Structure 1
Amino acid sequence: MKRLGLRREAKRRPGVGSGSGNPAWKGGRRTRSDGYIAIWTEDGERLEHQVVMEKHIGRKLVSGEVVHHRDRNKKNNEITNLELMTQSEHAKIHAMEMHSARYEK
């Protein structure tokens, strides 16, 4: 068939190949290259700290809202380490940290 330029359709077993049916499935949780933990939800891949905050406040985040890690550890997604704020407030926190770090040397 290959010589004729035709491809053979792969036979798939139901429930095998995606999600928990895949032998390579690791529980739907991974660490991204930027250090944040991503989880697989019904909405697709999401950042775990955002999902934790949404469950805590009982709604989805709206545009302009940011979840800040108080200890700056991107993997510590305990609700006690997370703080909901605006993008503007978040930028000010990190600007102050950068400013103070520059003059502490």
Structure 2
Amino acid sequence: MLIRQDTPVAWPTGLDLRRRIAVHARSERALSFRVGLTSDVDARADLYHRQAPDFAELVVLGQTTSETQMRETERDLQQWYREDFDSPHFGVVGADGPPPYFLYVALR
């Protein structure tokens, strides 16, 4: 799985977050997508490689050390994209360890 960084200085929120996800997940570029949060990008890419090998790319959109900011983003993503995912977790996979936390979009 290809890992790319698209990480500006600030953690994306609100409309900026939606726009940045849309840029990567547009239909001309991806068949489907999942948005997630992780504390280990390499381990998450390996998990996709093993359990969902049709996902070809993982794009890191942001990084934070704030668990509060990470949880708020997770909640917002679940609300915004509830109908758009093929995942039992609404496509949003939570962080799985200590900070820093990374926000990503996985592309199929």
**Does TM-score exceed 0.5, indicating one fold?**
no
TM-score, length of structure 1 as denominator length: 0.23
Q: Which has the higher strand share?
A: 2
Larger Rg: 1
TM-score, length of structure 2 as denominator length: 0.22
- Which one has more relative contact order, counting CA pairs under 8 Å at least 6 apart? 2
